């Protein structure tokens, strides 16, 4: 019986070791999707070439319209990934009050990933003395999703997106002020 238990433990340990040594596979899903789309366009071309060419021209037009915005988003995301978190915290801590709101609004806009991943960073800033207002500003401005701006432009227009983005940034700062005012000590 003991021999069987030892064999089972060894097998489990070997399997764990093999899993750790296996290389992570990259997903072929994007290539498969691209292949399916190209194949679909080819099939549709033989069914109705006029409509297929019109659809293809429409897609190319959208891509060309969105490409400059995608490049801007990409550059901003690269710059953000190069920022040093410690230096960023120091800059925020030392900044004047209005600049803190503006910095947190910009950071909220260019931040990406799940919101809960930012909570420890924001908590640390709060523990080091950053008021809750700039934190609220950060969270409010996360409503601007840079990666989704191209899609927003394709559904609406550039003027709408610019107005929406600017007003969201302005109201994120306004919300931060309101939060700070609500945390002011009450006068008797």
pLDDT tens digit string along 82-102? Answer: 777 677 777 777 777 788 888
**pLDDT value of residue 168:** 93
Looking at per-residue confidence, does 62 or 1 come out higher? 62
pLDDT single digits (tens) 49-80: 999 999 889 888 878 877 776 777 677 667 76
Q: Is the full-model pTM beyond 0.75?
A: no
CA 103 to CA 55: how far, in whole Å? 43
What's the number of domains the chain is made of? 2
Give yes or no: residues 98 and 75 share one domain: no
The domain containing residue 38 runs over which residues?
30-82
Q: What angle do CA 18, 19, 23 make, to 5 degrees?
A: 100
Per-residue confidence band for 35, with pLDDT thresholds at 50, 70 and 90: very high
Give yes or no: residues 77 and 90 share one domain: no
Give yes or no: residues 99 and 153 share one domain: yes
Region 159-186 average pLDDT: 90
In a domain, 11, yes or no: no
Give yes or no: residues 74 and 98 share one domain: no
In a domain, 22, yes or no: no
Per-residue confidence band for 1, with pLDDT thresholds at 50, 70 and 90: low
| Residue 152 Cα to chain centre, angstroms | 15
Per-residue confidence band for 6, with pLDDT thresholds at 50, 70 and 90: low
Per-residue confidence band for 141, with pLDDT thresholds at 50, 70 and 90: very high
In a domain, 109, yes or no: yes
Q: 80 is written with which tokens?
A: 């953000």
């Amino acid at each position: 019986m003991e021999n069987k238990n030892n064999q089972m433990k060894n097998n489990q340990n070997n399997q764990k070791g093999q899993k750790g040594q296996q290389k992570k596979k990259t997903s072929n899903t994007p290539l498969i999707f691209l292949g399916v789309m190209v194949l679909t366009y080819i099939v549709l071309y033989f069914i109705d070439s006029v409509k297929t060419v019109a659809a293809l021209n429409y897609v190319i037009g959208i891509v060309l319209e969105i490409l400059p915005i995608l490049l801007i988003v990409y550059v901003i995301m690269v710059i953000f990934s190069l920022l040093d978190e410690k230096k960023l915290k120091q800059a925020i801590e030392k900044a004047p009050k209005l600049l803190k709101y503006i910095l947190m609004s910009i950071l909220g806009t260019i931040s990406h990933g799940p919101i809960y991943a930012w909570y420890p960073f924001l908590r640390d800033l709060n523990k080091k003395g950053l008021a809750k207002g700039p934190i609220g500003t950060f969270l409010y401005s996360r409503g601007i999703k840079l990666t989704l701006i191209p899609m927003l432009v394709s559904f609406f227009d550039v003027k709408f997106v610019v107005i929406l983005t600017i007003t969201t940034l302005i109201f994120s700062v306004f919300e931060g002020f309101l939060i700070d005012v609500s945390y002011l000590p009450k006068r008797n």
